[in-house]
Amino acid sequence: MKKIVFVGAGSVVFTHGLLADLVKFPELHGMRIALHDIDPERLQVAEAVARRITGGNATVTAHLDRREALEGADFVINMVQVGGYDATVVDFEIPARYGLRQTIADTIGTGGVFRALRTFPLLDALADDINAVCPDTLLLNYTNPMAMNVWYLSGKVRNVVGLCHSVYWTMRGLADLVSVPYEEISYVAAGVNHQAWVLRFERDGEDLYPRLDVEDPQLRRRVRIDMYRRLGYYPTETSEHSAEYVPWLMHHDSELDRLRIPVGEYLRVSEENLAEYKRTRDLVRGGGELDIAGTDEYAPQIIHSVVTGTPRVVYGNVVNDGLISNLPQGCVVEVPCVADATGVRPTAVGALPPQCAALNRAYVSVNELTVRAALEGDPRHVRHALMVDPNTAASLTVDDIWRMADDLTRAHGDLLPEALRAR
């Protein structure tokens, strides 16, 4: 039976959800699950959770050694967060000293750039291991910043697709907003991860977008509704995310208040994740019952499709090889993909609306400069990425951007690629 490897399995809550999704498919029973993490305690908890959830339906092994875990893998799911909570705090606290406000800080922006730079050395090592022991594996990446990580990996491994639940949950939310069952809607979205656009939103040929045009004062206090009203298309990530990808919101107190933008939100989310891990650990140790509800993530669906040949449409982050005609060739875009026995095949969507493509191109520029900084070993490109980032550039002077980059470089130290460390 197929072997599925979880890299960063110590992210126990996420591992829990993916495993619950996998065991829902009878055709996958008998699968081999290999868990890898560098934290022994988290790995032990993840193994216990995995054994509880899979029961007798899978063989579960745990490995501190990554290459050992990867041996013979058919599928690899990457969900590592390099530096963990402590590095996330640094990504918020140092920019805040300069007056830079962030909400999630994991995609673009100052936090996204430095999260990527911390992750790239891990991706180098992961790619080396994959090429050594399982070169034909399908690597399914969940680690953020999604687009930067997939771009960086694209020349290093044969098969990589980035996965995110933002399109799926956006459409669930939109269906609820217009009071139409999700199962009855049809849609197409495309763009870049966390800033794709709902291009079509219908039921039985009826355009459902006009149902969002209501005079609800509370609804209009959502960033995404505000963006839809002004741009004509709804973005596929939460308002907290969407607020920090544009230049016109985060540095205005009045906009923070009008749109209820939660500055520092990801720090609170991270603290909740730590607390949830501890609850899960204590439940496992005490023999308590686990909730094994699934999460409807794409990775288990893709694995099922590849193993059984069942075709389904998912959304994936892949290299733009003519998929979106008015975004740069070679960048990473989020588009509909068909998963079946042949793998994951992206679908070309043509040109985005020009206003949407314009915002995406700013996002892509931050991605490109960050990836180039690491590939070329050029620390100036780190600063250039921050200089063109919409929120950072709108909030800080150029001198402060460079000083902030110096401070973050010193603070993250050896987590960064060697050529980009402070000298």
252 is catalytic: no
Question: What are the two backbone dihedrals, phi and then psi, of residue 416, each rounded to the nearest 5 degrees?
Answer: -85, 160
Token readout for 135 is 């070169």
Q: Which residue has the tokens 């709804």?
A: 234
Question: What are the two backbone dihedrals, phi and then psi, of residue 188, each rounded to the nearest 5 degrees?
Answer: -135, 135
| Rounded Cα distance, 54 and 50, in Å | 6
Q: Are the CB atoms for 356 and 324 separated by under 8 Å?
A: no
**Three-state DSSP string of the chain:** CCEEEEECCCCHHHHHHHHHHHHCCHHHCCEEEEEECCCHHHHHHHHHHHHHHHCCCEEEEEECCHHHHHCCCCEEEECCCCCHHHHHHHHHHHHHHCCCCCCCCCCCHHHHHHHHHHHHHHHHHHHHHHHHHCCCCEEEECCCCHHHHHHHHCCCCCCEEEECCHHHHHHHHHHHHCCCCHHHCEEEEEEECCEEEEEEEEECCEECHHHHCCCCCCHHHCHHHHHHHHHCCEECCCHHHHHCCCCCCCCCHHHHHHCCCCCCHHHHHHHHHHHHHHHHHHHHHHCCCCCCCCCCCHHHHHHHHHHHCCCEEEEEEEECCCCECCCCCCCEEEEEEEEECCEEEECCCECCCHHHHHHHHHHHHHHHHHHHHHHHCCHHHHHHHHHHCHHHHHHCCHHHHHHHHHHHHHHHHHHCCHHHCCC
Measured N-to-C along each axis, helices 146-153 and 354-376 cross at an angle, to the nearest 10 degrees, of 50
Q: Which residue has the tokens 């959304």?
A: 315
Question: What are the two backbone dihedrals, phi and then psi, of residue 58, each rounded to the nearest 5 degrees?
Answer: -155, 155
Active-site residue (options: 165, 304, 381, 384): 165
Would you please indicate which residues are annotated as catalytic (active-site) residues?
165
